Structure 1
């Protein structure tokens, strides 16, 4: 009894007093709910809610397979529409339950007193709020952040509907620590997570919309598209954090000095990271490389798939993806096969026998190369003699292509095969090194036979 009196006399301005007040409110709500269960119409409403849930479950079992089959037949629909249909399919039972319970409440309010549907209204409000929260939080791509926002919103709407919001807010507000002149409470942290999370979702939606608009504009070069998208994302997300902190009452002027000191420390410790970031911005501004370009850097040959803040992703013909730091592309020697245009000249070398007419060889080689697919007809191929070798007359064949992204080794191989077929058709031979042994007069040629050792 003394402990009970002590709890009753506890100051509500302290955390313990707030906990006691919240506990007493919960106990009062539980006593009221248990007491009302003995009333006939309250028990009837609980049974009606359970019956509605059972009907919703049965309807879900009947309608879900049909809806799934209908969804699989929707070919050509946008991906976002299919994703929302999948979400609705997963929440089909909740949707049916909410619709049925509000329909029952509307009928009951027409045929009987409103008090006989009071508990049903509470259940309907809770179910509706939970369903809305579950659907809207699907806009958050990060699974961890989505769970935090979802469960936090469920807790808040439940307390709001049950009338426990003020007591819970006092509890969170009293759970606080002071850092200098700044007071940080649990309520402030919850508000910050909610507000910043909501603004973050809005910033993500705006950045997606702007990205789609920018990528759909053909007048903007690919490198400038990437730069504009990165700048807009930085602007939107930065504004989301700044506005969120200001909205909950946090003074940001005190963070200016701290951020400056942190920036100096990070500048010395993260020189390479900062160098790659600056190099990435330079690459986007000077338009030296862009997504889709075919480049060579050292032994790496491939096409650029994406430009990141720290690195460039290059995919080779064998499917390997290389992440090359931006600084290497600024300081190293890069061959961009499609910088100004997509025209690329390729050279291949071959040789023929001395007995073949070089004029015919050149003509046949050019015709064979021009007949290969991917070789440009607008830029004629040429063939020149580059030397007289020990066993062959050496030639160089030069031709042009306009799609280096299709590969270089394969087109060279196709041209070599065309040369082989054309030379075989016209009787032109491709020699290999040969050596002649001449026996001088007044000399004898002696041969010896190697004897293998006996097998033991």
Structure 2
């Protein structure tokens, strides 16, 4: 341990001496002139950016019908206008300086600044391939630091210093350098995995020969395999022993299994749903008081949109253990029932005929599967009927079609003089009994 600390101390002293030497070189007259040029260029860039950035944003607001990737690229350019202007300006200054003098030392600072600015600008646009904002920020800053150290020529010294800071347990050794290399490599592999996954997923979704549920399952399995392979390949490439990691991950998995039972249950339920094809994207289902159609099937939940525009995230476990009504599981035919009553003085044969004709004339009601009407009982005030009809578009709503059929019945009954009775009550006041009671009290 003492040896490692001494090596680390030596590396830090070497870096400090190198930094002091570079600072002393900056005090040379030729270097000071180059620093003055860079300072003036920075002031010019700030002024130019203050003029150009708002005007570019105003121009971008007027763009219509442009692909999203173009708008994102323009937004990135707008945010990095300072760096773009500085890169262009420092390269112009470098070319002018090299045209004036042939001594490399008189353009060394400008050459270094131009190389750094161009590398930083390339990192900005390369990092846009990473979709996750947090990971993108980590990748961008990591690459900025690496290219800066590389162009300064101190990557070996910094690498040796980081390698001295390590955690050791038996034969297992994990240094900061290893962690940094693993993070960078895994981020790159994850980006490549995302690109491959996105292109492959799009092809799978367009394949009509595969059922919707199997498309979702195939995309999920492919994503798990690609990202898992990227993670383990990245660790193996930087020399991490995966045997010890497997034992550690097994212990962590047991602990998480007890604490995340619901999460695991939802994951397993999601796989079961995709395999047995009980529900799939586009199906119309009702679960309890929730009625709507399925937008997506996720690893943990299903997204259901109702008729009023609300989006419910139903855990997959509820879809497995609860009673789910799938209105479009095997086919889209749905039978609806409505109840009504008419007066005893109306002909029931005529009532049934009028009710069937009224329902058949409503839009969305099928005529290929005729509606039927039956007497279901003799009530206190009315003869009770049930009217049954079929539709094929439950996604269009159930309450609205029932309301339209009721309205058609009302119009048809009014036209044919058929009445819809309602309970009536009579209250009689017995005046004689009240007078007799009053006399008795006197």
Regarding TM over 0.5, the answer is yes
- The residue that corresponds to 2:268 in the other structure is 278
CA distance in 1, matches of 2:58, 2:289: 51
Instruction: Tell me the CA shift for residue 349 of structure 1.
Output: 0.7
Q: Equivalent residues in 2 for 1:176-187 (5 A)?
A: 176-187=166-177
CA distance in 2, matches of 1:265, 1:347: 52
Judged with a 3 Å threshold, the aligned counterparts in structure 2 of structure 1 residues 114 and 365 are, in CA distance, closer, same or farther, namely farther
- The residue that corresponds to 2:132 in the other structure is 142
Instruction: Tell me the CA shift for residue 283 of structure 1.
Output: 0.6
CA distance in 1, matches of 2:39, 2:254: 63
Is 1:198 the counterpart of 2:213 in the alignment?
no
SS in 2 for 1:253: helix
SS in 2 for 1:254: helix
Is 1:328 the counterpart of 2:328 in the alignment?
no
- The residue that corresponds to 1:120 in the other structure is 110
Is 1:47 the counterpart of 2:36 in the alignment?
yes
Is 1:343 the counterpart of 2:333 in the alignment?
yes
CA distance in 2, matches of 1:395, 1:279: 43
Is 1:27 the counterpart of 2:20 in the alignment?
yes
Moved over 6 A (4+): none
Tell me whether 127-136 or 378-387 shows the greater mean CA deviation: 378-387
- The residue that corresponds to 2:416 in the other structure is 426
Contact 1:12-1:21 within 8 A present in 2 as well: no
Judged with a 3 Å threshold, the aligned counterparts in structure 2 of structure 1 residues 315 and 157 are, in CA distance, closer, same or farther, namely same
Query: How many residues in Structure 1 have an aligned counterpart in Structure 2?
Result: 432
Judged with a 3 Å threshold, the aligned counterparts in structure 2 of structure 1 residues 11 and 305 are, in CA distance, closer, same or farther, namely closer
Give the TM-score of the pair, scaled to structure 2.
0.88
- The residue that corresponds to 2:440 in the other structure is none
- The residue that corresponds to 1:109 in the other structure is 98
Contact 2:334-2:391 within 8 A present in 1 as well: yes
Tell me whether 238-247 or 215-224 shows the greater mean CA deviation: 215-224
Instruction: Tell me the CA shift for residue 261 of structure 1.
Output: 4.4
Stretches of structure 1 that go unaligned for 5 or more consecutive residues are 1-9, 439-443, 452-456
- The residue that corresponds to 1:372 in the other structure is 362
Instruction: Tell me the CA shift for residue 239 of structure 1.
Output: 0.8
Instruction: Tell me the CA shift for residue 321 of structure 1.
Output: 4.2
CA distance in 2, matches of 1:50, 1:107: 16
CA distance in 1, matches of 2:300, 2:150: 46
Judged with a 3 Å threshold, the aligned counterparts in structure 2 of structure 1 residues 133 and 325 are, in CA distance, closer, same or farther, namely same
Q: Pick the aligned partner of 2:49 from 56, 60, 71.
A: 60
Instruction: Tell me the CA shift for residue 296 of structure 1.
Output: 2.0
SS in 1 for 2:303: strand
Deviation string for 1:59-95 (max 9, x for gaps)?
4344434433443333222222211211111112321
Instruction: Tell me the CA shift for residue 192 of structure 1.
Output: 1.2
CA distance in 1, matches of 2:433, 2:335: 53
- The residue that corresponds to 1:86 in the other structure is 75
Instruction: Tell me the CA shift for residue 198 of structure 1.
Output: 1.6
Contact 1:12-1:18 within 8 A present in 2 as well: no
Contact 2:342-2:419 within 8 A present in 1 as well: yes
CA distance in 2, matches of 1:149, 1:252: 24
Tell me whether 244-253 or 50-59 shows the greater mean CA deviation: 50-59
SS in 1 for 2:243: coil
Judged with a 3 Å threshold, the aligned counterparts in structure 2 of structure 1 residues 64 and 267 are, in CA distance, closer, same or farther, namely closer
Judged with a 3 Å threshold, the aligned counterparts in structure 2 of structure 1 residues 255 and 93 are, in CA distance, closer, same or farther, namely closer
In terms of fraction of residues, the more helix-rich structure is: 2
CA distance in 2, matches of 1:370, 1:283: 37
Is 1:223 the counterpart of 2:216 in the alignment?
no
- The residue that corresponds to 1:360 in the other structure is 350
CA distance in 1, matches of 2:353, 2:132: 63
Give the TM-score of the pair, scaled to structure 1.
0.86
SS in 1 for 2:242: coil
SS in 1 for 2:208: coil
Q: Equivalent residues in 2 for 1:161-310 (5 A)?
A: 161-264=151-254, 266-267=256-257, 270-310=260-300
Deviation string for 1:316-365 (max 9, x for gaps)?
34454444332332233321001122221111111111222333322332
CA distance in 1, matches of 2:339, 2:167: 78
